[in-house]
């Protein structure tokens, strides 16, 4: 997988299928819990369209995580 902040992960021409994006979300939340010692839920929306926007690119995911308290 390309290591670029703007590579498309989900949606049209995305590299990840629904199972892979689920694993990515769970893995990120686990890593954040390990690093911070607290629960940091990163998935805010449950509908697919909103999820596609939130997790479209690594850069967007990083911005989402950085915006968490």
pLDDT of 67 reads 80
Per-residue pLDDT of the chain (69 residues), as tens digits, is: 556 788 888 877 888 888 888 898 889 989 999 998 988 887 765 666 776 777 788 888 888 788 865
pLDDT of 31 reads 93
Structural domain spans, the chain = 18-66
Nearest to 44 by CA among 13, 12, 67: 67
Q: What is the pTM of this model?
A: 0.70
Residues 52, 69: Cα–Cα separation, whole Å: 22
Residues 8, 22: Cα–Cα separation, whole Å: 16
């Amino acid at each position: 997988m390309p290591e670029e902040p703007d590579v498309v992960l989900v949606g049209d021409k995305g590299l990840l299928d629904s199972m892979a994006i689920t694993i990515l979300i769970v893995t990120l939340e686990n890593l954040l819990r390990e690093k911070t010692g607290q629960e940091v839920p990163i998935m805010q929306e449950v509908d697919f369209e909103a999820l596609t926007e939130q997790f479209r690119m690594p850069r967007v995911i990083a911005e989402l995580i950085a915006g968490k308290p």
